Chains A and B, each alone.
Chain A
Amino acid sequence: SQTIHQWPATLVQPVGSPLSLECTVEGTSNPNLYWYRQAAGRGLQLLFYSVGIGQISSEVPQNLSASRPQDRQFILSSKKLLLSDSGFYLCAWSIGTSDTQYFGPGTRLTVL
C-alpha cells in the first residue's frame, strides 16, 4: 500500500530565513504530487503540482518554489520567509489520470 511522509512535522522560523519542506511517497511509481497550504481557518490553497520528475507547475505566484528531484520526492522551498507564509503545508498524491488525492500528515509552519 502507498504511504506518504512529510517532515518536519512542525517548524518555527524567523522572518527572512530559508525554508525546505520534504515530501516522499512510498509504494507507487510516477505519482502526481501536490503542495497545498492551509492558513488558519481557511480552505486549502493549491501551490504547486507535478506530474513527473522535473515537471513543476505553479498555481500561485509568491516567494515559494518547488522541486521534484526524484520520482517520489517533492520539496517546497523558500529563500526568505514572510510572516504570511505561516500555515499548514500539505503534500498530496494521486496516480495517473485518477483525480483522487491523498494527503500526507502535513507540516505546521510558524514564521515569527
Chain B
Amino acid sequence: QKEVEQNSGPLSVPEGAIASLNCTYSDRGSQSFFWYRQYSGKSPELIMSIYSNGDKEDGRFTAQLNKASQYVSLLIRDSQPSDSATYLCAVNIGGSWGKLQFGAGTQVVVTP
C-alpha cells in the first residue's frame, strides 16, 4: 500500500506568520508532487506542483521537495485568514495518466 501521510492538525497560525505543512510518502519511485487547498464544503484547488528536489516559489507559497527523505512541504508566508483551509498533499504513485495518492490533509487555522 503506497501511503501519503500528513498531520491532520489543526495547525493554528497567527496572521502574518509562516505556516509550515509537511507530507511524507512511501513510494520511492514517485516523481510528481502536488499541493491542493480545500475550503470547507468546496472542492480541492491546485496550489502548485513540484517535480525536482529543492524549493519552488509561487507568490506567498513555497513548496520544498526532498526525494531522498521522501518528504515534501509547503510554506505559506504572511498567512492571511483567507488561508484557513485544509491542505492536501498528492503524490503520483504510478501511471502516465497520473494516479495520484492523496494525504488526508492538514487543517490550517489563521488567527487574527
- Give the B-binding residues of A (Cβ under 8 A): 32, 41-44, 46, 49, 51, 88, 90, 94, 97-106, 108
Contact = CB atoms under 8 A, between A and B. Distances in A.
B28 to A, nearest CB: 17
Contact of A100 (B44, B98, B99, B103): B98
Given A43-B103, A43-B104, A101 B98 contact: yes
A90 B98 contact: no
B17 interface: no
B100 A101 contact: yes
Chain B interface size, as a band, is: 20 to 34
14 contacts: A43-B104, A43-B105, A46-B100, A88-B43, A94-B98, A100-B34, A101-B90, A101-B98, A101-B100, A103-B43, A103-B45, A105-B43, A106-B42, A108-B41
